[in-house]
Amino acid sequence: MKPARRQESALDRFLRYARIDTQSAEDAPRVPSTRKQLDLARLLLAELKGLGVKRARLDAHGYVMATIPSNLPPGHPAFGKVARVGLIAHLDTSPSASGAGVKPRVFTYRGGDIRLSGNREVVIRARENPELKKQVGKRIVTSDGTTLLGADDKAGVAAIMTLAAQLAGLEAPLHGEVQLAFTPDEEVGRGTAHFDLARFAADVAYTFDGGTLGELNKETFSADGATITVHGRNIHPGEAKGVMVNALRALADVIVRLPRELSPERTEGHQGFIHPHAATGEEALASVKLLLRDFDVAGLKRQKRLLEGILREVRPLHPGARLVLEVKASYRNMRDRLAQVPEVTGALEEATRRAGVKPRWVPIRGGTDGSRLTAMGLPTPNVFAGGQNFHGPTEWLAVEGLEKAVLTGRHLVEVWVELGAKRKSGPFWL
Ligand SMILES: [Zn+2]
């Protein structure tokens, strides 16, 4: 590896990674869901090796994992007592918008709306992006409007790779063992499906998969997936009188009863929602899939009862139809588990402050790989990486946010050394 790459800026790294198409795919049976994610995985593996990170590997499921050994000298007060810190970002971009041929544009924001050059219809509006105001006179990155940008999550990948180059370099700050992971298929909900926790030998971890500068996340939705299936009876419409039971009509009666005030369009902050997002059907069989979301499991139970109530109401309107509700757990809020290990979020908050950034804890109206990893036993809050408007062509990245993410990560490993020095003995708690 050329020395230049070791010192490559986080922005330059981001621009290189953003140009690589890594879109994942829903419902693809293969792992990872698309082979093109491996293009970035292989590149990162080669770059890590080039940085001198010897324990770096790409596994059969498309996960890149690497270990940067501790550089603490024996005799250091924290020697042997530092938690192993994991840093995680995802390789893939959302299936909701094209990630092919991304042309990132870097420029100094002068204020006002931003009309993108490749598609003049696509406008990043100042009114809809209050964070833009803070970027006047600073550099931001957009796509040309024909694709998403992929800051979700290549900003996280670039931040971690930049930090890895620092930690593996000669002028690294003192740090304990640091584990890195780059995961496929986060956007299709399978980012942790094949996550090898035994190999990823970390005591705590942080996903770099967040938004605006200073935004930290320790709360996510708790999520269930519901399916309502209507079994009807089909017959030639000419002879249907008194015989046909049209599943579509019954399903429509169900959907129309979903409370509007509980929709994603009308909720924010800590409010939950019920969101019908896909329906299929014909006379004999129709079904709708719904996302159930709340920050509390009790709220999810209330939502399930609400759906049961709707079915009770609709059944008598469609004699002969069979309506079935099925609810499956998807993921759970990581808040409760993280509250049991306050050092994990405390260290992150302190590191953010040391990076010169005011930390803000914001609830995520979605899940992260961290929510699943936390449930699997690895406490994993989430860190900003500077991006905004994920999953569409108006996505943009604040360069300052990206750079501060790197700095926050650097302070984070230092804070963990200090915490280790205060401990009486090692290893860590887990
Ligand atoms: Zn993401």
Please state, in angstroms and rounded to a whole number, the distance separating the CA atoms of residues 68 and 168.
Answer: 7
Average predicted confidence (pLDDT) for the chain: 95
Inter-CA distances, 187 with 34, 116, 212, 290, 351, Å: 12, 25, 19, 18, 28
**pLDDT tens digits for 365-391?**
988 899 999 999 999 999 999 999 999
Give which of 260, 251, 263, 275 is closest to 324, Cα–Cα. 251
CA 25 to ligand 1 centroid distance, Å: 14
- Return the CATH architecture of domain 222-331: 2-Layer Sandwich (3.30)
Task: Convert the pLDDT of each residue in 393-403 to its tens digit.
Answer: 999 999 999 99
Given CA atoms 234, 238, 241, 247 in this order, what sign does their dihedral have?
positive
Contact (CB, 8 A) for 193 and 38: no
Tell me how far apart the alpha carbons of residues 353 and 404 are, in angstroms, rounded to a whole number: 10
* 13 Cα: distance to centroid of ligand 1 (angstroms): 17
pLDDT band at 189 (very low <50, low <70, confident <90, very high): confident
Q: Provide the residues around ligand 1 (an ion) whose CB is within 5 A.
A: 152-153, 209
- The DSSP bridge partners found for residue 285 are 231
What average pLDDT does this structure show over 105-124?
A: 96
Question: Residue 147 pLDDT > 80, yes or no?
Answer: yes
Q: What are phi and psi of 112, to 5 degrees?
A: 80, -175
Instruction: Measure 298 CA to ligand 1 centroid, in angstroms.
Output: 27
**Gap from CA of 104 to ligand 1 centroid (Å):** 18
Q: Is the pLDDT of residue 180 over 80?
A: yes
Q: Which two tokens stand for residue 276?
A: 């019908």
Rounded alpha-carbon distances, angstroms, from residue 335 to 54, 179, 266, 268: 35, 23, 24, 18
Q: How far apart are CA 399 and CA 154, in angstroms?
A: 13
224 with 198: CB under 8 angstroms? Answer: no
- pLDDT computed for residue 430 by the predictor: 46
At 218, the amino acid letter reads: K
Q: Tell me: pLDDT of 123 over 90.
A: yes
The answer, yes or no, to whether residue 3 has pLDDT greater than 90, is no
User: Are 3-219+334-422 and 222-331 in the same CATH fold?
Assistant: no
**Bridge partners of 300?**
none
DSSP 250-315: HHHHHHHTS-GGGSGGG--TT--EEEEEEEEE-SSEEEEEEEEEESSHHHHHHHHHHHHHHHHHHG
The rounded Å distance from CA 209 to ligand 1 centre is 5
- Burial letters for 258-297: b for 16+ Cβ neighbours within 10 Å, e otherwise? beeebeeeebeeebbbbbbeebebebbbbbbbbbbbbbee
> Which tokens go with 75?
């005799």
* 298 C-beta neighbours (distance < 10 Å), count: 10
Q: How many residues does the chain have?
A: 430
- The strand pairing partners of 204, in sequence order, are 85
DSSP secondary structure of 116-178? -TT-TT-EE-TTT-GGGGGGTTSEEEE--SSS---HHHHHHHHHHHHHHHHHTSTTPPP---E
Domain assignments of the chain as residue spans, ordered by start? 3-219+334-422, 222-331
The CB-side HSE value for 270 (13 A sphere, CA atoms) comes to: 10
Give the tokens for residue 107: 């420029």
With a cut of 70, say whether residue 2 has pLDDT above it.
Answer: no
| C-alpha–C-alpha distance, residues 260 and 270, integer Å | 17
Helix extents (H) in 199-270:
247-256
Alpha-carbon gap, residue 69 to 86, rounded angstroms: 12
Q: How far is the CA of 402 from the centre of ligand 1 (A)?
A: 14
pLDDT, position 6 = 75
Residue at 57: amino acid letter: R
Q: Say if CB 335 and CB 294 are below 8 A apart.
A: no
CA distance 385 to 77: 32
Q: How far, in Å, is the centroid of ligand 1 from the Cα of 152?
A: 4
Q: Over 60: is that where the pLDDT of 16 sits?
A: yes
Q: Report how far ligand 1's centroid is from the alpha carbon of 353 (Å).
A: 23
pLDDT at 331: 86
* Catalytic residue set: 92, 186
pLDDT of the residue at 427: 58
The dihedral sign for the CA sequence 415, 417, 420, 422: negative
pLDDT digits (tens, 9 = 90+) for 193-234: 999 999 999 999 999 998 999 999 999 999 999 999 999 999
Ligand 1 centre and the CA of 385: distance in Å? Answer: 10
Centre of ligand 1 to C-alpha 390, Å, is 8
pLDDT at 428: 61
CATH number attached to the domain at 3-219+334-422:
3.40.630.10
Give 261-273 pLDDT, tens digit per residue. 999 999 999 999 9
Concatenate the DSSP letters of all residues of 161-191 into one string: HHHHHHHTSTTPPP---EEEEEES-TTTT-T
Query: What are the φ and ψ backbone dihedral angles of 11, each rounded to 5 degrees?
Result: -65, -45
Q: What are 326's strand-pairing partners?
A: 227
